[in-house]
Amino acid sequence: MKLELLKSSFEQISSDLVVVFATKAAAKDTGKESGKKADKKDKEQKPKVTVEGLGKTGTATVTEKIASALEDGSLSASACEFVLFRDAKVAQARHLAVVGLGEVKDITAEVIRQAVATAFTSAKAAKAKSVSFAMDSLAHNSLSPEIVMQAAAEGAALASYSFHEFKSGKKDDGVTTVHFVSTSKNKGQEKGLETATVLAECVNFSRWLGDRPGNRMTPTILAEETAKAAKGTKLKVTVWDKAKIKTEKMNSFLSVSLGSSQDPKFIIMEYKGAAASKKPVCFVGKGLTFDSGGISIKPSGGMEEMKYDMCGGANVIGTMLAIAKLGLKVNAIGLVPATENMPGPSANKPGDIVIARNGKSIEVNNTDAEGRLILNDALVYACEQKPAAIFDAATLTGAMVVALGNIHTGFFTRNDKLAAKVDAAAKSTGELVWRMPLVDFHARDMKGTYADLSNISSGKGAGSATAAAFLENFVDKDIPWAHFDIAGTGWHNGDRFPYNPRKGASGAMIRTFVELAQAF
Ligand code: BES
Ligand code: MN
Ligand code: ZN
């Protein structure tokens, strides 16, 4: 799909469908008026809907259509409302659609991202091949042209993703061209479009890595695809094989792979965009290409979803690709331990003791708590790189899904300054995060009986926090570190975020991680 910014009035552009943005007037403050009568009267009033900055030719048709939709109550311009006027013939477009932004004072980049994604998906359903967005109609409250364009383009490009490579005969028959039409095309808009295009391309690539099933996204394939995607960029990819993982004393990681016929891989991505003296930011992602649970095997219902257990790894790969393709002036390292968790004859058995790269001994009391057994060795390696900060992403615990569902990503850090950076980065990308607790009690519950640590908690509940506390044993105290549990957000089920697939990998935290890479 092509995304283009055109300097023009939207009437000059021919397309199957033109989308105009509409806002609604602020709700009347009825506080001063007395009694219920005033309230009732207000409710009966039609909402005031405004479409800004349209040129001359289109205006009459647009105004007329809007008036009639207001009349029958089908238009209110609330955020993400989409109203299609088939064959409206506005200027050179066959169909007209109005997408709502809500009230001007509430418009953020995320509101725009969601509105454009909704319009895009609806346009696709209406079988439009070319869609133009009349950007002059996009009212907002002092957002820069760059931010507006980036959000709009991300909305369309992220919504365009679908996973259909194994459906016979099905080509992507969706929208082929999206035009953002603006009479005031400027440098900021161009930059916003460029950034959005790169980010969405990398997010969509990660989604594809996640959506591929276990037999078609093994650790070997994941490593190969990473190297292939990095070709032509400044990203250096090194892949350690099983023998190297062993000589590097990543025996905790190695132990998880032993029940599988697929060899593990340790994927190292390095990007140098700043002076060598500048400490890198390090990203670590859980790359479980399939998690059967191992000997502590999972119930079969829904087990197919465990192909997504490498989404943390895929999202770190997406993050590193985006950093490189955007040419950011930062140094960054991405690390992905990749393996299957299977119950083969050499698999970890409950009670087995393994020794991690930093020498700590671990009782494997549940082979299904395997994510922490691969992340720990990667975290030790990350610390050896003397980074400015470490961020990890993992589909680590079912408890995270219970706590926050598929709305927020829970993150854990004891470092308040780092937490503030995470919140600021997530606020700017619109990704929802929520800081979770991590205290000494959680750490205490992870002590082992026969080894330094147990891989499961001796206490009840707080399963995501105790998992974070386990990981903390593998991070140097003086290195700022935050752990992101994306078990609920790494793949998507339902229609919550219009730019995410209804079902499938989401690419959660990639855009926030790219922001964080620039925060040091
Ligand atoms: N990959 C799972 C966590 C998971 C579960 C992610 C459901 C997404 C949806 C992880 O490896 C796991 O199995 N965790 C166990 C840990 C437990 C044994 C301490 C869990 O959460 O049940
Ligand atoms: Mn597991
Ligand atoms: Zn897992």
**Which tokens is 80 given?**
């993400």
Among 397, 400, 458, residue to substitute to test ligand 1 (most atoms within 8 Å of Cβ): 397
pLDDT tens digits, residue range 127-137?
999 999 999 99
Residue 476: CB partners within 8 Å, gap ≥ 6?
A: 383
Scored b (16 or more CB within 10 A) or e, 327-345 reads ebebbbbbbbbbbbbbbee
Given a contact cutoff of 8 angstroms between Cβ atoms, the answer to whether 364 and 351 are in contact is yes
Q: How far apart are CA 182 and CA 401, in angstroms?
A: 42
Which residue, chain included where needed, has tokens 């899904």? 401
Given a contact cutoff of 8 angstroms between Cβ atoms, the answer to whether 6 and 18 are in contact is no
Q: How far apart are CA 403 and CA 412, in angstroms?
A: 13
The residue-averaged pLDDT of 211-218 equals 98
The residue-averaged pLDDT of 451-475 equals 99
Among 308, 368, 460, residue to substitute to test ligand 1 (most atoms within 8 Å of Cβ): 368
pLDDT of residue 38 exceeding 80: no
- Point out the ligand 1 atom lying closest to the alpha carbon of residue 298: 13
Q: Which of the four pLDDT bands, split at 50, 70 and 90, describes residue 27?
A: confident
pLDDT of residue 379 exceeding 90: yes
Catalytic choice (242, 278, 298, 427): 298
pLDDT tens digits, residue range 87-100?
999 989 999 999 99
Q: Which of the four pLDDT bands, split at 50, 70 and 90, describes residue 37?
A: low
User: Among residues of the chain, what percentage have pLDDT more than 70?
Assistant: 96
Ligand 1 contact, 214 CB (< 6 A): no
- What one-letter code names the amino acid at 13? I
pLDDT tens digits, residue range 316-368?
999 999 999 999 999 999 999 999 999 999 999 999 999 999 999 999 999 99
pLDDT of residue 506 exceeding 80: yes
Q: What is the mean pLDDT of the chain?
A: 95
Ligand 1 contact, 239 CB (< 6 A): no
The residue-averaged pLDDT of 437-452 equals 98
CB count within 10 Å of CB 89 equals: 12
Ligand 1 contact, 309 CB (< 6 A): yes
**Is there a catalytic annotation at residue 298?**
yes
The residue-averaged pLDDT of 155-182 equals 92
Domains parsed from the chain with CATH numbers: 2-27+44-160 (3.40.220.10), 211-517 (3.40.630.10)
Q: What does the pLDDT read at residue 445?
A: 98
Kind plus residue range of the DSSP H or E element containing 422: helix 416-429
Q: How far is the CA of 451 from the centre of ligand 2 (A)?
A: 21
Q: What does the pLDDT read at residue 40?
A: 55
Q: Which of the four pLDDT bands, split at 50, 70 and 90, describes residue 53?
A: confident
pLDDT of residue 179 exceeding 90: yes
Ligand 1 contact, 395 CB (< 6 A): yes
Given a contact cutoff of 8 angstroms between Cβ atoms, the answer to whether 442 and 422 are in contact is no
Ligand 1 contact, 488 CB (< 6 A): no
Which residue, chain included where needed, has tokens 């349209």? 54
Residue 479: CB partners within 8 Å, gap ≥ 6?
A: 383, 386, 387, 389, 390
Ligand 1 contact, 401 CB (< 6 A): yes
Scored b (16 or more CB within 10 A) or e, 37-68 reads eeeeeeeeeeeebebebbbeebbebbeebbee
Phi, psi of 179 (to 5 degrees): -110, 130
Catalytic choice (65, 185, 307, 372): 372
Q: What does the pLDDT read at residue 39?
A: 55
pLDDT of residue 518 exceeding 80: yes
Q: How far apart are CA 315 and CA 326, in angstroms?
A: 16
- Point out the ligand 1 atom lying closest to the alpha carbon of residue 396: 3
Q: How far is the CA of 170 from the centre of ligand 2 (A)?
A: 34
3-state secondary structure 275-315: CCCCCCEEEEECEEEEECCCCCCCCCCCHHHHHHHHHHHHH
pLDDT tens digits, residue range 255-289?
999 999 999 999 999 999 999 999 999 999 999 99
Lowest mean pLDDT among 2-6, 67-71, 147-151, 298-302: 67-71
Residue nearest to atom 3 of ligand 1 (CA): 397
DSSP letter (8 states) at residue 27: P
pLDDT of residue 123 exceeding 80: yes
**Is there a catalytic annotation at residue 496?**
no
Does the predicted model carry a pTM greater than 0.95?
yes
| Helix, strand, or coil (residue 46) | coil
Q: What does the pLDDT read at residue 494?
A: 82
| Helix, strand, or coil (residue 16) | strand
Q: What does the pLDDT read at residue 43?
A: 55
pLDDT of residue 29 exceeding 60: no
Phi, psi of 220 (to 5 degrees): -65, -45
Q: What does the pLDDT read at residue 54?
A: 80
Ligand 1 contact, 463 CB (< 6 A): yes
**Which tokens is 214 given?**
């276990």
pLDDT of residue 168 exceeding 70: yes
pLDDT tens digits, residue range 381-428?
999 999 999 999 999 999 999 999 999 999 999 999 999 999 999 999
